[in-house]
Structure 1
Amino acid sequence: MEKVKIEKNTVQETLIVPLYGRKMCSEKFPEIYTDIFAEKLCDRLDYDFSELEKKKNSFLYEFGSLEAAMRQLDIMWEIKEYLKKYPKATIVNLGCGLDETGKACDNGVCHIVNVDFPDVIEIRNQLILKCEREINIACDLKDYSWMDKVDGTNGVILFAAGVFHYFKRDEVKKLALELSKRYSGGCLVFDSVGKFGLKLMMSKVLKNMGIRDIEGLFYINDPIQELNWSENIKVTSNGYMLGYYDMKSPNIRFSHRLLARICDNIMKMSINRMDFKNLE
C-alpha cells in the first residue's frame, strides 16, 4: 500500500507529534493506554521518524508520550459521560488531524464528525476509513459554515485536542459563544495550558522536533474565571495529567508522576468543559 508523504515544517507535520506520542505510550505503558490506530497510521506515513526514534527512550520524550495519551483518555472520559445522557449525540472532533477518538468512543448509535483544514482531511481520507455514521468536513474552524453540517438535534459534544493553543483568545471566545447559541444542551471540551506552559511547549517541544513558524497564542491560568464568557455557559475544569486518572502503573516512574503534578499545578495544564445551557 502506497505511503502518504508528510512534508517538513508544515501544519500537516504537527499531526505527527500527538500521533507518535500515542504510539509510544501504547508501547511503553499498555496497562494504562492502548491506541490500536496509532501504530498502523505511523506505518502508513512517508515521514522520517529517525530523530524521534533516537529520543524515544529519554525521560522527556517518555513523558511527552504520556501527555498525548492522558489528554486523549481525559477527553474520552468526558465524551463517554456525555453519551450516557445523550446516546445518539454527535461527537465533533475539531482540528481532528489523524485522531480517531470518535471511533474509540463509538457506542453504535452516536454520530461522528471530523473537521480540519482541506489538506489535513485529504490525508485523513487516504489513511482512515470512515464508519457509516461518520463524516469528514474540510474547513477552517474559523469559517463557521462547517457548523451547518453538524446535527445537534440529539445532543452534541465538541472537542479540540491541542488545537486552541494556536488561536487568539478572542477567536476561542467567539467560537465558544457561537457554539453555545447553536447547540443548547451541548458541550465543548478542550485542553489548555497557562502562560508559562505555553511558552515552554512552543519553545521546547515543537521546535525540538524541527517544526518552525508555528505560533502559540492562547493560554489560560485560571479556567473557571477566564472562561466565564456567558451566563449560558457552565465551566468546569480538571487537571490534564492527574485530574481524571492517577497514572499508577509499575512502568511509570515516580519522577513522571512528580512532573505530572508540576504540569497540572504550575504549568496550569487542564481539561476544560463548557456546558451550554438548554435555552428551550
Structure 2
Amino acid sequence: MTGPAPRVDGNVLEGVSATTLWTLHNRASEAKRSDGVIRDPWAVVLFDAIDYDYRKFGKPNQSHALRAVAFDAAATEYLTEHRRASVVALAEGLQTSFWRLQRNGVTDELTWYSVDLPPVMALREKLLPHDDRIVPLAQSALDRSWMDRVDASDGVFITAEGLLMYLDPDDALSLIRDCAARFPGGRLMFDSAPPWFSKRTVDGKLKLSDRYVTPPMPFGMSPDEAVELAGRIPGVRAARDIATPPGRALFKVLASPVWDRIGVLRRGRPSFTLLEFG
C-alpha cells in the first residue's frame, strides 16, 4: 500500500450505487477493530478517503464483513484449483476482494474483471491501486457485453455480491440463466434477502436511520428457493447453501446451524448461494 489517497466526495453515488458506501461503512468499521472479523486494509483506505455522511447508515455491524468473508472463502476454494481462472465481480462497488484474495495467495495468475457503473468505476480508479490483472468495465451488469470480454478457457468464478436483490426478479433470473449458458464449468455466488425483508424494502419500511431508507430489493429468496435453482435453470448442475461465518456475540449465536432446524427461521434468514454450471 502507498501513501494516503486523495479525498473525494462520496455524494457522486446515488440510488442503489450509494449502497456500496453502506457496505463499505460496515466492512471498514469492522476492519478497524482489533477483534474484527475481517482484515481489509484497503476498505479502511477507501472509508477514510471518501467524504460522506456515513452516520446516516446507522450504527455499523458485522453483516457485510461476514458476507465478504464467505465470498472470499468460496473464491479461494475455486482459485486454488483453477489458478489461471477469470473472476468476474459484477456490480463490484467499493469491494476490495482482489486484495484480500491476494493475501490468500490465489491471485498470481488470474484475470479480474471489475464491472460496475461509470461513477463507481471512476471512484475505484481514483482511490485503488492499478494492477495489470484487473480489467475495469464501466457498465451495468445487465449489459451482457461484459461476457464477450471474459476469457473462460481456464475457468470462471462470478460474484454477484449485493447485486441480485436490487434487480427485478425476471432480470435476476435471466442474468443467472445467461451466465450458466455462457460459462459451463464456472461458478456464480450470490446473496439473497429473504422474502419478508424484500417486502419491507419494497414498501419503503426499512430505515437504517431517520435519514436513510434502503432502496427497494424486489428479488427475495429463501435459502431453499435459492438452492432449488439447480432444478429450475438449465445449465445449473448444482447449488449449495453457504453457511454464514460466525462473528462475535449475537452474530456468533445467529451463525449456529441449530436455527436451521426451525423452518420459519430458516426461511426467514438471509443466505449465500454457490451455483455450479454444468
TM-score range, shorter chain: 0.7 to 0.9
What SS is found at the alignment partner of 1:28? coil
> Aligned runs of 1:263-278 on 2, under 5 Å?
265-277=266-278
Inter-partner Cα distance in structure 2 for 1:219 and 1:154: 32
| 1:206 Cα deviation after fit | 5.6
Question: In the alignment, is the contact (CA less than 8 A) between 1:93 and 1:102 conserved in 2?
Answer: no
- Residue number among 12, 20, 29 corresponding to 2:25 in the alignment: 20
Structure-2-length-normalised TM-score: 0.83
| 1:181 Cα deviation after fit | 1.7
> Partner of 1:114 in structure 2?
114
Question: In the alignment, is the contact (CA less than 8 A) between 1:91 and 1:102 conserved in 2?
Answer: no
**Runs ≥4 in structure 1, deviation > 4 angstroms?**
200-207, 259-264
> Partner of 2:156 in structure 1?
156
- Residue number among 79, 88, 98 corresponding to 1:102 in the alignment: 98
Inter-partner Cα distance in structure 2 for 1:269 and 1:131: 33
Q: Percent identity?
A: 23
> Partner of 1:165 in structure 2?
165
| 1:196 Cα deviation after fit | 1.1
2:230 is the alignment partner of 1:230? no
The one-letter code matched in structure 2 to 1:97 is: G
Inter-partner Cα distance in structure 2 for 1:184 and 1:90: 13
Deviations along 1:248-276, one digit per CA (max 9) or x if unpaired, are xxxx22x3334455697252311111111
Question: In the alignment, is the contact (CA less than 8 A) between 1:238 and 1:244 conserved in 2?
Answer: no
> Partner of 1:197 in structure 2?
197
Inter-partner Cα distance in structure 2 for 1:194 and 1:162: 13
Alpha carbons of structure 1 residues 171 and 29: separation in structure 2 relative to 1, 3 Å: farther
Inter-partner Cα distance in structure 1 for 2:214 and 2:32: 31
The one-letter code matched in structure 2 to 1:265 is: R
Inter-partner Cα distance in structure 2 for 1:235 and 1:70: 24
Greater shift, 99-108 or 142-151, is seen at 99-108
C-alpha RMSD of the superposition: 2.5
Alpha carbons of structure 1 residues 206 and 99: separation in structure 2 relative to 1, 3 Å: farther
Question: In the alignment, is the contact (CA less than 8 A) between 1:190 and 1:272 conserved in 2?
Answer: yes
Inter-partner Cα distance in structure 2 for 1:244 and 1:49: 25
Deviations along 1:86-126, one digit per CA (max 9) or x if unpaired, are 11101111100111112322321111111001111111111
The one-letter code matched in structure 2 to 1:84 is: T
The one-letter code matched in structure 2 to 1:273 is: L
Question: In the alignment, is the contact (CA less than 8 A) between 1:90 and 1:112 conserved in 2?
Answer: yes
Question: In the alignment, is the contact (CA less than 8 A) between 2:207 and 2:214 conserved in 1?
Answer: no
> Partner of 1:6 in structure 2?
10
Deviations along 1:179-221, one digit per CA (max 9) or x if unpaired, are 1121111111000121013235675656537345822110112
> Partner of 1:32 in structure 2?
37
> Partner of 1:81 in structure 2?
77
How many residues get paired?
A: 260
Alpha carbons of structure 1 residues 111 and 257: separation in structure 2 relative to 1, 3 Å: same
> Partner of 1:181 in structure 2?
181
Greater shift, 156-165 or 19-28, is seen at 19-28
Alpha carbons of structure 1 residues 180 and 223: separation in structure 2 relative to 1, 3 Å: same
Inter-partner Cα distance in structure 2 for 1:204 and 1:37: 33
Alpha carbons of structure 1 residues 15 and 205: separation in structure 2 relative to 1, 3 Å: farther
In structure 1, the gaps of 5 or more residues are none
Alpha carbons of structure 1 residues 133 and 67: separation in structure 2 relative to 1, 3 Å: same
| 1:226 Cα deviation after fit | 4.7
Structure-1-length-normalised TM-score: 0.83
In structure 2, the gaps of 5 or more residues are none
Inter-partner Cα distance in structure 2 for 1:235 and 1:130: 36
Inter-partner Cα distance in structure 2 for 1:259 and 1:34: 21
